Chains A and B, each alone.
Chain A
Amino acid sequence: MLEASQNPNIRILSYTELEEVKGYVGNFTVRLRKKPRFINENKCTGCGICIERCLTFAPDEWNLGLGRRKAVYKAFGQALPNVPVIDKRHCGHFTKGICSVCEKVCPSGAVDFHQREEVIEERFGAIVVAIGFEVFDHSLYGEYGAGRIKDVITGLHFERMLDPSGPTKGHIVRPSDFTEPKTVVFVQCVGSRDAEKGVPYCSGICCMYTAKHSILLKEHIPEAQAVVFYMDIRAPSKGYEEFIRRAQEEFGVLYIRGRVGRIFEEDGRLLIKAVDTLAGRPLEFHADLVVLATGVIAPREGDKVAQMLGLSRDPNGFFSELHPKLAPVETMNKGIYVAGCCQGPKDIPTSVAQGSAAAAKVIALFSKEQLESDPQVAEVRDLSCLGCFKCRDVCPYGAIQEKEMGKRLVAQVVETVCHGCGLCTATCPTGAVQLRGFTDNQIMAELRGFVSQWKNIAA
């Protein structure tokens, strides 16, 4: 990330939201809303004195509420740009109007409580959408305590505990009493391959991260017992199967095919009721910590982004690529590409590959002087066009523009934007818009061809 930030051709606009996208491939006009961070990015040196001196604490989102952060903070250590942000909801200056410690201690005078929202409008040639994913909310699983049992945590939670600079300084502890767990149960497919919970698909990454977690648990606490409940182990990439085998054979992680049916709190421990479907017998034992391998779900903002960019989404909310095999990073909107988990659950290597593919596609697009386009596009016969612009209303791509034609306005097709669906042609009351290759006359001629063929057969 640091490397990207130092590349002269890359500009990172963090804390900025997409507001509007107009235009088409090679010619997008994008409006961005840069939210105020109340710290002048140009003046700030990133020394962090403001964070040190800040008096107000807030729950740390990055550590999933496990720890606390200050009201002026950086999201995480490697966050870029290296400029903190003041959290208006917690900052004493904004909530009580009394504190301005950070302003006083800042050696470069970068704190600016009056910073306003900034709207940036710029032109871009292509857009890559990589807005990521969200983690399934396991409170939908009542049998696992619906998020109320403290010692039932998610994989991401566990991951934060493993971080040496994280809230527990790299120690694995039970959130309820901060003691080391002796038996840890990992439950796979929580919010994954469960149509009843609205997630019929396989999240793909949980098998591997659970294996990693179980190995790390054994490395941190060698005498601990790791038990993994799985439905199927899906380890289809290079070296993955071997990794699972290592967890099982080298580290002695106990893999049980089956599912945990219920978790009860009992005498400060957790009573696990499960079933071993290979042995066909129910299991009941005590554990200290349960880690749920929560699945990947589509980003919440997905529909907003899809609407702004004219992208389509699959039934699970992930962005649809143009073609699952032949055009995996292109979208149905030319000049807009997708990469990473917003297109579907995937692991880091695949996300990197897809991101590289999207970047390469953009470079290929920009390397040409002129764009090639499909000849199957709509065209308008100016003289028949009434200027009612019903075509513009139905066009899914915004490919219809107004054109002045003497004193009146007529429709005009932007050929690079048109995808050739023909919705406009079927909508036009006068037949002034015709889709090349599929004009009304051509389709009718095809129809008449069949009819005369049938007549010949009959005769």
Chain B
Amino acid sequence: MEKHRRIVAFLCNWCSYGGADAAGVARLQYPPDIRVIRVPCSGRVNPLFVVKAFSEGVDGVLVSGCHPGDCHYAEGNFYARRRLEFLKRFLPFMGIAPERFEYTWVSSSEAQRWQKVATLFTQRVRNLEPFKGFDHG
């Protein structure tokens, strides 16, 4: 249990949530540290959600949507990409290690990609200390 971290993943309903679901159906294994919050679109993710998640005390936040150009809502993930890239560069200024945050694209057929993304991100967060609050990284 020592190694486990608290990771929240915001997954878009149409691609990444489906991909994670497909991973489950296919019984692909990945670490249990991730809790999934379903959102309609990665564009629904307000960057503040990520910051608020850290202030609640999670160790890592992952956002995943449809591949750019494949958004169910045509362009939602383009907005997401801009906002989240900005957020990622901004995190160090808030005293959060940028490695704790990642955004990525997983389509609903990419169960194995979801497995890989989830595993790699969990490993990355596990390599860090548990999040002790802003200013402690």
Q: Which residues of A contact B (CB under 8 A)?
A: 310, 312, 315, 332, 376, 394, 396, 419-423, 425-427, 435, 438, 440, 443-444, 446-448, 450-451, 454
Contacts and interface: CB of A to CB of B under 8 A. Distances in A.
B76 interface: yes
18 contacts: A315-B69, A332-B73, A332-B74, A394-B79, A419-B73, A421-B44, A422-B39, A423-B79, A425-B46, A426-B79, A427-B79, A440-B46, A443-B37, A447-B49, A447-B58, A450-B35, A450-B37, A451-B6
Closest 7 CB pairs of A and B: A422-B44, A421-B73, A423-B43, A421-B41, A426-B46, A450-B35, A396-B74
Nearest to B57: A451
B93 to A, nearest CB: 20
A454 B6 contact: yes
Given A423-B79, A447-B8, A312 B74 contact: yes
Nearest to A333: B74
B44 A444 contact: no
Interface of B: 6, 8, 35, 37, 39-41, 43-46, 49, 52-53, 56-58, 69, 71-76, 79, 83
Given A421-B44, A425-B44, A451-B6, A310 B49 contact: no
Contacts of A427: 79
Contacts of B39: 422, 438, 443
A419 B53 CA distance: 27
Given A419-B73, A421-B41, 4 more contacts: A332-B74, A396-B73, A426-B44, A448-B56
B37 A446 contact: yes
A423 B76 contact: yes
Contacts of A376: 40
A119 to B, nearest CB: 28
B58 to A, nearest CB: 7
Nearest to B73: A421
Q: For B43, B52, B75, which residue has the most chain A Cβ atoms within 10 angstroms?
A: B43
Contacts of A440: 46
B34 to A, nearest CB: 10
A376 B13 CA distance: 13
A413 to B, nearest CB: 14
A447 B45 contact: no
Contacts of B37: 443, 446-447, 450
B52 A438 contact: no
A315 B6 CA distance: 37
A420 B74 CA distance: 12
A422 B43 contact: yes
Q: For A423, A446, A447, A451, which residue has the most chain B Cβ atoms within 10 angstroms?
A: A423
A448 B71 CA distance: 28
Contacts of B72: 332, 421
B104 to A, nearest CB: 18
B83 A426 contact: yes
Contacts of A454: 6
Contacts of A447: 8, 37, 49, 52-53, 56, 58
Contacts of B49: 443-444, 447
Given A394-B79, A396-B73, A426-B45, A438 B53 contact: no
Given A315-B69, A447-B53, A451-B57, A423 B8 contact: no
Nearest to A447: B53
Nearest to B47: A426
B43 A310 contact: no
Contacts of A448: 56
Contacts of A423: 41, 43-44, 73, 76, 79
A262 B92 CA distance: 59
B40 A435 contact: yes
B69 A435 contact: no
B53 A310 contact: no
A421 B43 contact: yes
A420 B71 CA distance: 13
A448 B52 CA distance: 10
Contacts of B53: 447
Contacts of B79: 394, 423, 426-427
Contacts of A419: 73
Q: For A419, A421, A444, A450, which residue has the most chain B Cβ atoms within 10 angstroms?
A: A421
A238 B19 CA distance: 34
A275 to B, nearest CB: 35
Contact of B41 (A422, A443, A444): A422
Contacts of A312: 71, 74
A312 B66 CA distance: 14
B71 to A, nearest CB: 8
Nearest to B52: A444
A203 B33 CA distance: 45
Contacts of B35: 450
Contacts of A426: 43-46, 79, 83
Contacts of A443: 37, 39, 49
Contacts of B57: 451
B33 to A, nearest CB: 10
A2 B57 CA distance: 70
Nearest to B44: A422
B69 A438 contact: no
A448 B74 CA distance: 31
Contacts of B76: 396, 421-423
A374 B44 CA distance: 17
A332 B74 CA distance: 8
A447 B73 CA distance: 24
